[in-house]
Structure 1
Amino acid sequence: MQGRLFAWLVKHGLVHRSLGFDYQGIETLQIKPKDWHSTAVILYVYGYNYLRSQCAYDVAPGGLLASVYYLTRIEYGVDQPEEVCIKVFAPRRNPRIPFVFWIWKSADFQERESYDMLGICYEAHPRLKRILMPETWIGWPLRKDYIAPNFYEIQDTH
């Protein structure tokens, strides 16, 4: 079953794959990393000018990593927003996805957190660095194959 945005993207020749609808009825689409930059620009121009949320997760141990974007379009009024969920999957060995900070400014810290916790590199992001873990931290704590260290460095709080 495909939604309105799926049909619109097909009509305009944009590469994507439907993942159906989530439990709230939000259309979910998969975009390849190489197509994400151009598709994001087109979605913004089409009216999806609000990034409600960006997050990332590890699909399976040794499998793909996913970067998830919830976009909102308000065309007919605030009480009738049109939402879409975009999933961009990247390989674990070299997870690289184009950043969308310059399109949706709210993606800045959210993409940085995804980098910090899962190691997804958002290409050309102007401030891509760790924000939750110390710069010297080794590994990506939210990956399913992450092995927690036996020790934790105690830091001064003064």
Structure 2
Amino acid sequence: MSETPSTPTVPAGPEPGPISRWLNKQGFEHQLLDPDHLGVEVIGVESMFLQVIVAALKADGFDYLQCQGGYDEGPGQQLVCFYHLVAMAEMVAKMGVGDSSSEAAKVREVRLKVFLSREDTPSLPSIYGLFRGADWQERETFDMFGINFEGHPHPKRLLMPEDWKGWPLRKDYVQPDFYEMQDAY
């Protein structure tokens, strides 16, 4: 009995979600990434388009920056800066209607990711002008990963001393053997 060889199936990429489809209609280039473990749509954007895309999403109802942060994919790999946006006013309005159906209670949220090279000085535009809550979050990301936020009004360390060398949450960071604190008294 001869069987025809089966063609290997190529796993399909993630299906575009509603926010990705909306961004496509608006003409914004982006990279579709797998949703997170809770089903939140995750979208990759280029650093040069970050402010424009965040402004467009804010105009579309994403009025709350829930979280901004960064992480290191590993030595020799990329640094990632992420932004989690939520349509908070829509959620509050739905709560006032009293519709408790699961579809009505679903919050519109999206996570944007910007992938940066660790070479030289990674930088991207600050979104402080759009979301004031980005102030300390961007400063912490700078302090721990060395990602500069162009246009940030207070671009200085938040957690580490001003004269600290290096970026402690990078996976290739080497902790100094000794650090002398200035006498605070």
Q: TM-score range by the shorter chain?
A: over 0.9
Q: Which moved more, 1:86-95 or 1:42-51?
A: 86-95
Give unpaired runs (5+ residues) of structure 1.
Answer: none
> Which secondary structure does the structure 2 equivalent of 1:21 belong to?
coil
Distance 1:135 1:70 in 2: 28
Identity of aligned residues (%): 41
Counterpart in 1 of 2:24? Answer: 10
CA offset digits 1:40-86 (Å, max 9, x no partner): 11111011110000110111212211111110014252543211110
The gaps in structure 2 that reach 5 residues or longer are 1-14, 96-104
SS at match of 2:42: strand
Pick from 70, 77, 91: which aligns with 2:117? 91
CA distance in 2, matches of 1:26, 1:107: 20
Q: Which residue of 2 aligns with 1:64?
A: 78
Alignment size in residue pairs: 158
In structure 2, how many angstroms separate the alpha carbons of the residues matched to 1:26 and 1:32? 20
How far apart in 2 are the matches of 1:63 and 1:20? Answer: 19
Q: Which has the higher strand share?
A: 1
C-alpha displacement at 1:157, in angstroms? Answer: 6.0
**Structure with the larger helix share:** 2
Q: CA deviation at 1:156?
A: 4.6
Paired AA for residue 147 in structure 1: V
Q: What are the equivalent positions in structure 2 for 1:73-112 lying under 5 Å apart?
A: 73-74=87-88, 75=90, 77-78=94-95, 79-93=105-119, 94-112=121-139
Find out whether 1:31 has 2:45 as its counterpart. Answer: yes
**Residue in 2 aligned with 1:145?**
172
Give the alignment's TM-score, normalised by structure 2: 0.81
Q: TM-score, normalised by structure 1?
A: 0.94
Q: Distance in 1 between matches of 2:114 and 2:124?
A: 8
Residue 155 of structure 1, CA deviation: 5.2
1:124 Cα deviation from its structure 2 partner: 1.1
Larger Rg: 2
